[in-house]
Structure 1
Amino acid sequence: MSAATVTRAERDAFVARAQSRGTRRVARSVGSASLLLGSGFWGLFLVVSVAVPLVVRQAGGVMGGGVMTGAEYAASWFALSLGMIALSGLTVPHLAAGGTRRSMYGGALAAALVAGVAFGLAYAVLLLVERGLFGALGWSWDQLGSGLDAGGAWVVVTGVAEAIGVVVYMLVGMAAQAAYRTHGVWTGTALLVPGFVLVVLVDHATRLGTFSDAFGTLGLGGDQAPVALGLVQALVVLALAVGWFWWQVRAVRLRPAG
């Protein structure tokens, strides 16, 4: 009785297929959850952005700016929470079932990119809806908050900047969850600092989000930053966030409870 001979090429092909399947499953799991919860988030803002101006108009008032500026701040933190929750529920079953850290990383990264594009598109579309409603009511509309000075292409640039920011926040959330799982409370908390720096930097680059106003107040970044420079800076921060996420995931391990 002879044992079947498996060549190196066959073994490598099998490993590659298993890796690809694991990556797709993670991407599908995290991506579908992010899109489902994200649809609820943006649906809520759609209702509010339409209802508030109508209520104000009914009361005889006038608004100079809409409520979508709230989404600018909330969307990024919502994405960070999504990242933490997604990786928290995924890590144990994925690794226990034989999945690799590399496939978990690749799938989660793909899901974050999809969520970022979807969130950026939703934000841009809702800004247009809000502006159109203001026009129909005979009001002038100004985009509240900051943002890169893009002239007529403001909606495209704003959507792209929001998408990049959402991806960075989501990756930072995932990296934080991986750090806590691997290192425990004290070291995991200390490792929040590099992630915090990344979210501050992406807000500064895009002129969107919670920390952009703080930079403006300190005189470290005005609203008139060149579009190309801001987007390039944001992409650099995104690359750093991708690397930071991999650095945490590559060493993630399951720790016993207690």
Structure 2
Amino acid sequence: MTTVLTDRDVFVAAARRRGFRRVVRSVTEGGVIVGAGFWAVFTLVAVVVPLIVDAAGNEMGNGVLVGAEYSARWFAFTLGIILVSTIMTNHVAAGGTRRSLFTGSVVAALLTGAVYGVLNVVAFLVERAVFTGLGWTWTAPVDVVPGDLLWWTGVALSELLVVSVYVMVGVAVAVGYQNHGAWTGTLLLLPGLVLLAAVELAAGTGSADDLLSPLRVGPGVLWAGVGVAVLAVAAGWMHLHLSRLRLRPTR
């Protein structure tokens, strides 16, 4: 059976695509630009501090980037809240669909995660180069030998996974407050925090992993699957909120 598209169908499809692209651009650009600034500052510090220590005749046992990714993901989480809060009401009020807001947020979260992952690796490589140039031994943030491409790829993918979930949960938090107000919105933080802890445990990085690492038993491929599952649940949690997005009158 042949489907005939009317002018209205074409118009609606084009409007949805425009809405989707606006969401992706608004959330991704803000997250990436500010995130790039965050990593640029940390990378600069990772260069300057060892040089100062070396000039004083001392040596560092660890670089300053240990734990920097912990801060970066919370940075992305906050940006997810702020950026979606600034566009969601206008998006829907202007005729944009909740579906395009959801799909755009998913793509934006993944793109932001990918950029953070690459910047994380670049920062580590710069820090290692500084340590090597000073004749020091650079210690990786985890107990592995960072000598091959596979390890660096794992660092980038791990950060992509974690940051993507953080952004999605941040979006869910923003919409939760919009839909339910302060008290219920605050209670809805709890499932989101569980997702954040779960993805850090699955990725083997972060403060939650530091606390719950004894639970991380089994092969790495198993936990990679768990991480992907947590990502899917985070997307579903975000969709649950966005599908019920309500426009509240201003007071």
Q: TM-score range by the shorter chain?
A: over 0.9
* 2:200 is aligned with 1:207: no
Equivalent pair of 1:147/1:158 in contact (CA under 8 Å):
no
In structure 2, the CA distance between the partners of 1:211 and 1:19, relative to structure 1 (3 Å rule), is same
Aligned partner of 1:3 in structure 2 is none
* 2:5 is aligned with 1:12: no
Q: TM-score, normalised by structure 2?
A: 0.92
Equivalent pair of 2:200/2:206 in contact (CA under 8 Å):
yes
Count of residues paired in the alignment: 247
Aligned partner of 1:245 in structure 2 is 238
SS at match of 1:83: helix
In structure 2, the CA distance between the partners of 1:52 and 1:226, relative to structure 1 (3 Å rule), is farther
Structure 2 distance, partners of 1:46, 1:256, is: 44
Equivalent pair of 1:179/1:191 in contact (CA under 8 Å):
yes
How many Å apart are 1:173 and its aligned residue? 0.4
2:247 pairs with 240, 251, 254, which one? Answer: 254
Identity of aligned residues (%): 43
How many Å apart are 1:33 and its aligned residue? 1.0
CA-to-partner distance for each residue in 1:87-143, whole Å, 9 max, x for gaps? Answer: 110112111111111111111221111111000000011111111111111111111
2:55 pairs with 58, 67, 73, which one? Answer: 58
AA paired with 2:56? A
AA paired with 1:221? R
Aligned partner of 1:22 in structure 2 is 19
CA-to-partner distance for each residue in 1:29-65, whole Å, 9 max, x for gaps? Answer: 1111111111111110111111111111111111122
Equivalent residue runs for 1:61-76 within 5 Å: 61-76=58-73
Structure 2 distance, partners of 1:132, 1:154, is: 17
Aligned partner of 2:186 in structure 1 is 189
RMSD: 1.9
In structure 2, the CA distance between the partners of 1:9 and 1:147, relative to structure 1 (3 Å rule), is farther
Aligned partner of 2:225 in structure 1 is 232
- 5+ residue gaps, structure 1, are 1-6
- 5+ residue gaps, structure 2, are none
Q: TM-score, normalised by structure 1?
A: 0.90
